[in-house]
Amino acid sequence: MTEQTNLLLIFLTGLTTGGLSCALVQGGLLASIISNKKDNQVLPLTNFLIAKLVAHIFLGALLGSLGSTVRLSPIAQGWFQIAISVYLFGVAMSLLDVHPFFRHFIITTPRFLGRLVKNQSKSETWFAPILLGLFTVFIPCGVTQAMEVIALGTGNPLYGAAIMGAFVLGTSPTFFILGFLYEKLSSALNTKFYILATSLLLIMSLITLNGGLGLVGSIYTFQNFLEVSKTDAVVNNNLQEVTINVYSNGYTPNSINLKKNVSTKLTLKSQNVQGCARAFTIPKMGISKVLPDNGTEIINFVPLNSGPLVFSCSMGMYTGTFNVI
């Protein structure tokens, strides 16, 4: 699973949820603007969607920057990702109305902001839809809040902006349709869209949980369950050597036997690597290294404890295990 795949899931979540969960909060206001522009509904709707997209891209960049100001260790970052996965799960359960407890995962908008946006929606001026589109950052639906938490967790302003941009782009076609047919379509499609939307949220929750487990050094990741073979390090003169080839989609080999209390020379060979696989880390030893796109990096360490020693990328999506014996 790559960053691009995550963005696709986020886009699909916006596509399914944007016209429903978000429209339940914002769609009525948008409909009132369109009703004031019966002679030309396309222009105000387009202005609204463009303003909404721009505002959320800036919000995503801000959240990503905020996340980057706190330099977390790989293990701390892993626990943060696990917390995000719990939040995504809670939002999904709230959307499905599984239990009243999960309503606590939805953050309510301050009433004065709601009144301000509602007043703007009654305006007949040409810039009212633009202002409303900008104000939507203050009245997010529950799923938008989940995307904001993910953007914060990236610690990267560009990726944070991409996450919020992908989500809002996903909401746009559904919003465009519901902008004209809100009352007729929303109730008819509510159940089917919510099931799909919550399914995508649960998938993202599992992906985030898996990454968090990798970063805290847990062996219980999806990748580790798929390991089929192990590689032994080469030992010469009290030095064991092992080479890992680094690709954009992971590490090969990803299961390696090491001897306890023996100096280890780990050679990492990058081959046209893009994405988070370049950020190699051994969480339990506090080792982090950013690798070149192409080239070789050497890490020296001594495994002191028997058992599994997990290595991972910076997001926990690609993992492997040193089996210390």
**CATH code of residue 254:** 2.60.40.420
Domain identity same for 137 and 205 = yes
Of the candidates 191, 215, 239, which is a domain's last residue? Answer: 215
pLDDT digits (tens, 9 = 90+) for 134-173: 777 777 766 777 778 778 777 789 988 998 999 899 888 8
Domain identity same for 148 and 197 = yes
pLDDT of the residue at 161: 92
pLDDT digits (tens, 9 = 90+) for 237-260: 788 988 899 888 788 888 888 888
Domain identity same for 126 and 249 = no
Highest mean pLDDT, choosing among 56-70, 79-93, 108-122, 140-154: 56-70
The encoded tokens of residue 95 equal 């959307």
Domain identity same for 57 and 172 = yes
Lowest mean pLDDT among 2-11, 62-71, 199-208: 2-11
Amino acid identity at 55: A
Domain identity same for 150 and 89 = yes
Domain identity same for 164 and 91 = yes
Domain identity same for 198 and 242 = no
**Contact between 268 and 250 (Cβ < 8 Å):** no
The mean pLDDT of 20-28, rounded to a whole number, is 61
Domain identity same for 251 and 110 = no
What is the value of pTM for the model shown? Answer: 0.55
Instruction: Reply yes or no on whether the pLDDT at 313 is more than 90.
Output: no
Angle between helices 21-35 and 157-215 (to 10 degrees): 160
pLDDT digits (tens, 9 = 90+) for 179-226: 666 545 445 555 555 666 677 677 777 877 877 787 777 777 776 666
**Contact between 118 and 29 (Cβ < 8 Å):** yes
How far apart are the C-alpha atoms of 141 and 143, rounded to whole Å? 6
Q: How confident is the model at residue 320 (pLDDT cuts 50, 70, 90)?
A: confident
Average pLDDT, the chain: 75
Of the candidates 186, 215, 244, which is a domain's last residue? Answer: 215
Instruction: Reply yes or no on whether the pLDDT at 316 is more than 50.
Output: yes
How far apart are the C-alpha atoms of 132 and 183, rounded to whole Å? 20
Domain identity same for 237 and 170 = no
Question: Taking the CB of residue 15, how many other CB atoms lie within 10 A of it?
Answer: 21
Phi and psi (nearest 5°) for 36? -85, -10
Considering the chain, what percentage of its residues have pLDDT values greater than 70? 70
**Contact between 293 and 281 (Cβ < 8 Å):** no
Cα three-residue angle 255-257-259, rounded to 5 degrees = 150
pLDDT of the residue at 183: 45
Lowest mean pLDDT among 23-27, 72-76, 114-118, 204-208: 114-118
Domain identity same for 86 and 15 = yes
Domain identity same for 167 and 204 = yes
The encoded tokens of residue 14 equal 């916006």
Nearest residue to 145 via CA among 49, 12, 56 = 56
How far apart are the C-alpha atoms of 296 and 311, rounded to whole Å? 17
The whole domain housing 247 covers 222-324
All residues at 6 or more sequence positions from 49 whose CB lies less than 8 Å from its CB, including other chains = 133, 172, 175, 176
Domain identity same for 150 and 270 = no
Q: Is the Cα torsion angle 288, 7, 133, 89 positive or negative in sign?
A: negative
- Looking at the structure of the chain, the number of domains it has is 2
Of the candidates 154, 184, 215, which is a domain's last residue? Answer: 215
Amino acid identity at 148: E
* Pairwise pLDDT comparison (21 vs 323), residue with the higher score: 323
